[in-house]
Amino acid sequence: MSERFDWILSAPPETRDRVVAALNADERKEFDWHWFMQAREPQLPPSGDWRTWLILAGRGFGKTRAGAEWVRMVAEENCEARIALISSSLSEARSVMVEGESGLLACCSPESQPVFEASLRRVRFPNGAQAQLFSAAEPESLRGP
């Protein structure tokens, strides 16, 4: 996240509310694209060196959004990133993880909007990073990638 916003994160809630109230509509809309300012602590990726992040939570927690934001963060930080989006079916991966209201396309700003290439089952980010969709129903499709 931009260092320009770091002080707002550490400010007391009352100060953050006053700052946001003083912004015009365009400035306020910019906050929509800064997940770290909106997310609850359990929705943020754990610190440290880890290989598995489990979010064990019920409906409405924000698991899809947390995952989409993490994928976006990885893709934006590493132009060579190759990410596997695995769901029970390809249609679910597409409708929830990519095109859903909390999916990848919804959490990216218009300036950094990735392109979803449905026929290739691929999401291509502007910097070259890619996310490939896979179905758990076809585990052999994960061989190689």
Alpha helix ranges (H) inside the chain: 6-10, 13-22, 25-30, 35-38, 63-77, 90-92, 104-107
Q: Which residues of 12-44 are buried (b: 16+ CB within 10 A; e: fewer)?
A: eeeeeeeeeeeeeeeeeeeeebebeeeeeeebe
> β-pairing, 115-117 with 82-87?
unpaired
The Cβ of residue 65 has, within 10 Å, a number of other Cβ atoms equal to: 19
**Mean pLDDT within 75-101:** 95
Task: Inform me whether the pLDDT recorded for 1 exceeds 50.
Answer: no
Higher pLDDT, residue 7 or 71? 71
Task: Inform me whether the pLDDT recorded for 107 exceeds 60.
Answer: yes
The rounded distance, in Å, linking the Cα atoms of 116 and 123 is 4
DSSP labels for 32-65? GG-HHHHS-GGGSPPSSS-S-------TTS-HHH
The pLDDT tens digits for 115-142 are 999 999 999 999 999 999 999 988 888 8
Task: Inform me whether the pLDDT recorded for 6 exceeds 70.
Answer: no
> β-pairing, 130-135 with 115-117?
unpaired
